[in-house]
Structures are given as structure tokens and as C-alpha cells.
Structure 1
Amino acid sequence: MEKIIITTEETCNLSKELLDKYNIKKCDVTFWVDGVEHNSKTTDMTPQEFYGNMRNGSDVKTSQVNLQEAKDFLEPYFQQGYRILHIGFSSGLSGTYNNFKLAMSELNKKYNAHNVAIDSLCASIGQGLLVIEVAKKLEYGMEYDKLVEYAENMKWNINHIFTLDDLKYLVKGGRISKTSATIANVLNIKPVLHTDNNGKLVSIGKVFGRQLALKNLVEKMAINYNPQFKDVFICEADCNSDAIKLAGMVEKRFGVRPTILPLTYFIGCHSGPGTISLFYVGDKRV
């Protein structure tokens, strides 16, 4: 019987408990706060401290996993004789997946293996939710080639919808103009966005005020939520009270209580404190 391992990156946003539960191995990432380097594996900075620093004007940056880092992460599993299925961060948002794809190709040649890196076209718990659903199939005994096929098909059903509290972080990332952000903030306009089929962040609506934004997330979920899948997640960037409120709205509407997790540094540094996201499996992407 083949030894199969599922690997991913810190961008999957899964807690240690979930990683351990499904025996998922993740590659950690590097980020900087005011020029000081941190690693997601070793940092003692709490999410509250990280987002507090952002609110206070700290300069935060991230770095994609480079080719050598990808090879260093994957090679021990080749050496141990595993069939490796790597589910990577969206190529529409980062070059990390392409580096893992190249690393996998080079190591396959070196070890005469046939392992696969999949572009999830997902981010944050969207990526993590795909990883979990594939890991469940592995637990049930699904063979490697079928796991690859399942992952490639399931990724089109992973939904990520979210809203932001302050658009200045999108300005910093070059995603919107400073003028547009200023007008939106003055008028208290909150964007609703999702990750589309190209793995990119796309606006799907605008509402006035935070509470209407939370309500809109639930209304979007109602369009295509598949109730056969009970794992629903909320990620919050230092806005836990809103996350609890959103979880209550989801539970009342759909009868499932979402798991709430802090938004990982790697994602949150681009969207900023106050970001709140809802993840679920649907019939398609909303």
C-alpha cells in the first residue's frame, strides 16, 4: 500500500489542531514587520499584536516561497518514500505555486517519482478547506491518482467571500487607487469580494456599513451553499466580535456553526485588520 502525504503552505490558514488531525504537512513562510524578519513557525507574535502593529502604521511585508525553500520542504518526503500531493496557494495571487511545481518536477526526476503539485486557485482557509476535503478522502482509502482528480474537481466548489474594514491596505498593494479608497472610507462603503475561478480577488458588491456587509456575506452563501459539506470557516483579522456575530447569522440560516480562526499573517498583511472572511463548499464558486 502506498504511503501518501498531503502537503501545503502556511497560506492554508489551518490551525495546528486541524493540521495534526488530518496529518497535513505545511511549509512555513517568512514575513517582516518594520524590517524585522519573522517565520510563521517560530514567531511568538500573536495575531492581536500583528494587527495592532498594522493599525499603528508598521510596515509589513511578505515573501513567496522560493524554489530552494520548496525543494528543501519537499525532499525529506521523497527520501522517506511518500507519494506527495501538494496543494498550493493560488497562482493568481503569488508565484509560490509555480515554485512548488518546478521543485516537484526536479525532485521527481531525481528520485524517479511521479508526485503532483496542484494549483488550488484558493487562498487562506479556502486553500485549507480544499486540503481538508482531500485529506478526508485519503482517510477513507482513496488512491493517489483519484485524490489528484478529486482535488482538481473540488477546487471549483470552494467559496471565499470576504469584506474589509479599511481600504488603505488595498491601496498599498496597488489593487485600488487612493482616491477610490478615500471616498469609500468617508462614505462608509464596504466592499464584498471573492476569489474567482482564476484565483484572483474580485469585487462582487458594495454595501453601506459593516453590519450590512456581514449580512451580505450570508446572502451570498445562500446562493450556492452545499449542505452536504458541514465544514464552514470564518477567518478574522482582529475582529473577533464581528466573527462571532457572523457565525451566529450563519448558524441561524444554515444550521451549521462555523469554526472561527485568526487570519494568518501572510494573508492579513495585504487585506489589513478588520478583514472578515467566510469559507464553504458550494455547487460552484459564487
Structure 2
Amino acid sequence: MEKIALITDSACDIDEETLRKYNIHVLPFKIIYKEHEYTDGIEITPQEVYANMKTEIPKSSQPSMEDIENLYKKLEAENYTHVISINISSGISGTVNAVEFISRQYPAINTFVYDTKSTSVCQGIIVKKCGELLKEGMSFEKLKKAIPEMKKKVHMYFVFGTLEYAIKGGRIGKISGTIGNILDIKPIVSFDEEFGQCYTCEKIRGRVKSLNRLIELGEKFVSKKTCDAYVIHGNVEEDARKICDKLRENPSIKNVYLIGQISAIVGVYCGPGTVGVCYSEI
């Protein structure tokens, strides 16, 4: 009989209730300051990361090989036969490769590692849906086939408060580092499907117009199918709540979820002022 473990990493934006409900194992990133290193989500919160940015912008490192191996040892001891691992884009992190490497040391556990080519709440939605399907009794092989189809139905857009942090963190991808400083241009950012790197969808002048555009971009999805919408933010809850209120006015959006703060590891690169909306087709 299959015993399947569900793994993700701390770049995944997902609520604590869901993590507990589906027994999801989270591999933590490291948040690194000059004087100290913290375990993401355990020793430091997103709020603390944003507050500390006023004095120091930290670096980060992917989940350690030791942490991944310790998790596999635990799963082996608990007689797990299979693992589904849903991870941050390989275009911005080596986490996928690290999990694949360690998993090969445990051949008795059949592992499927999925590169989301994304992160944050997009990653979280896929993890949550996997948890639901596992609880319903879906087999390992069927879930492997279902995950790429889930990804096709999830569409995520961000507006950064500033590009300063993405530029300094080296995670700018295909976003121009200069456009944000010209005429108050705010890029609408998403992830490309091929490489899983950030790119600019559109360039909008002004904060208010850029936030409204996050809603308008969802129209091409909600006009065809009923969707759920998920909203996240980097220390700008008021902006996020306003977007939620506007999204709830659309009858084609069944549920609107305010997930809250963007995870600390993602926040290191997107910085305060970021707002994201993710549309998930039902």
C-alpha cells in the first residue's frame, strides 16, 4: 500500500492550517544577515524581514542538503513509500536539484520532484490541491500526471513596490533594472513558462494604476471560467484588502483569499510594497 509524503519549501505561500491539515513537510530556506543566520519561517517571520530591511537587506540560501537528508531519513523511518515534492522555480533556486540529488540516495522511496517554474502563492495552490487529492485517495502515478494540469490553471502577477531588492538580490531575471525609475513606471511581473524566471508583462505608470491592472489582467481568465483569487502582499495589507474587495465584486470569482504576507524568502527579493494576485481556474 502506498504511503505518500507531500513536501514543499518555505518559498511556498500557504496558510498554517493547510500545512497541518495535509501533513505537508516544509524545507526551510536560510535568511542570512551579517551577524546571524535564521531559519525561514521558524526563527524569523516575514514581518521581521521587512522591518529589518530598513537597516540591512539580507541574503538567502536554499534548504540545506542536511535538512533534506534529515527529512528523508524521517520519512524512511516512518515507512513512507513515495514522495511528491513541489518546489520553487529552478530558474531562481537550486532547490529542485538538491531534492532530486538527495532523493536518489533513498531508492526505496519513489520520489517525484515538480519544478513549479514559479513560487509563492502559485506554488502554494498546487501544494494545497495535491494535499486535497491525496486525502481523497489519489494514487502516486495519477497525481504525478495531474500536477502539470494544475499548473496550467494557475496564473500569477505581481507589482513590486520598487525593483531595488530584486536588483540587489540578483533575482531580476528578464526585468529591466531601470524602467522602475523612469516616470514612476511600475512593471507587472510574472514567471515565464520555459525558464521559470521573472519577466515584465506590462509597464504601467503609477502605483494605483498598476494595482488596478492586476485585477484587469485576471479578466481574460475569469471571463472564460470561474476562478478563485488569492492575494498576497509585502507589508502593505491595506492595498491587498482593497484589491480583495474589488475582486469580490466579480461574479465569476467564486472565492477571494487574502493569504497575507509574502514568505520571508520571497520577500528578501521582492521587498516591501509588493502585491500579488493569483487566479486559479476551477
The amino acid of 1:259's aligned partner reads: L
Which 4+ stretches in 1 moved above 6 angstroms?
none
Report the equivalent of 1:185: 181
Report the equivalent of 2:214: 217
Report the equivalent of 1:141: 137
Report the equivalent of 2:51: 52
Q: For residues 146-170 of structure 1, what are the alpha-carbon distances to aligned partners after superposition, in whole Å with 9 as ceiling and x for unaligned?
A: 0111113222322221001112112
Please say if 1:4 is aligned against 2:35.
no
Q: Is the 8 A contact 1:156 1:197 kept in 2?
A: no
Match of 1:164 among 156, 160, 167: 160
| Superposition CA RMSD, Å | 2.2
Aligned partner of residue 8 in structure 1, secondary structure: strand
The amino acid of 1:74's aligned partner reads: Y
Match of 2:72 among 65, 71, 74: 74
Q: Is the 8 A contact 1:250 1:258 kept in 2?
A: no
Aligned partner of residue 260 in structure 1, secondary structure: strand
The 3 A distance-change label for structure 1 pair 266 and 188 is same
Report the equivalent of 1:200: 197
Please say if 1:24 is aligned against 2:20.
no
The amino acid of 1:275's aligned partner reads: T
For 2:8 and 2:179, locate their aligned partners in 1 and report how far apart those are by CA, in whole Å: 39
Q: Is the 8 A contact 1:122 1:158 kept in 2?
A: no
Q: For residues 178-214 of structure 1, what are the alpha-carbon distances to aligned partners after superposition, in whole Å with 9 as ceiling and x for unaligned?
A: xx65663352111101112132111100111111111
Instruction: Please report the TM-score for the alignment, with normalisation by the length of structure 2.
Output: 0.89
Tell me the matched-pair count: 275
Q: Is the 8 A contact 2:171 2:269 kept in 1?
A: no
Aligned partner of residue 100 in structure 1, secondary structure: helix
Q: For residues 209-262 of structure 1, what are the alpha-carbon distances to aligned partners after superposition, in whole Å with 9 as ceiling and x for unaligned?
A: 1111111111111112475553x3211110000000111111112353222320
Instruction: Please report the TM-score for the alignment, with normalisation by the length of structure 1.
Output: 0.88
Q: Is the 8 A contact 1:10 1:28 kept in 2?
A: yes
Please say if 1:106 is aligned against 2:105.
yes
For 1:60 and 1:251, locate their aligned partners in 2 and report how far apart those are by CA, in whole Å: 36
Match of 1:131 among 127, 134, 138: 127
Q: Is the 8 A contact 1:251 1:258 kept in 2?
A: no
For 2:123 and 2:144, locate their aligned partners in 1 and report how far apart those are by CA, in whole Å: 15
The amino acid of 2:269's aligned partner reads: H
For 2:18 and 2:219, locate their aligned partners in 1 and report how far apart those are by CA, in whole Å: 26
The 3 A distance-change label for structure 1 pair 79 and 152 is farther
Report the equivalent of 1:279: 278
The amino acid of 1:273's aligned partner reads: P
For 2:146 and 2:275, locate their aligned partners in 1 and report how far apart those are by CA, in whole Å: 28
Q: Is the 8 A contact 1:71 1:107 kept in 2?
A: no
Q: Is the 8 A contact 1:159 1:195 kept in 2?
A: no
Q: Which has the higher helix share?
A: 1
Q: Is the 8 A contact 1:190 1:209 kept in 2?
A: yes
1:176 CA displacement: 5.8
The 3 A distance-change label for structure 1 pair 2 and 229 is farther
For 1:212 and 1:34, locate their aligned partners in 2 and report how far apart those are by CA, in whole Å: 38
For 1:58 and 1:23, locate their aligned partners in 2 and report how far apart those are by CA, in whole Å: 35
The amino acid of 2:164's aligned partner reads: K
1:34 CA displacement: 3.8
1:26 CA displacement: 0.9
Report the equivalent of 1:269: 268
Q: Which one is further off, 124-133 or 255-264?
A: 255-264
For 1:46 and 1:67, locate their aligned partners in 2 and report how far apart those are by CA, in whole Å: 22
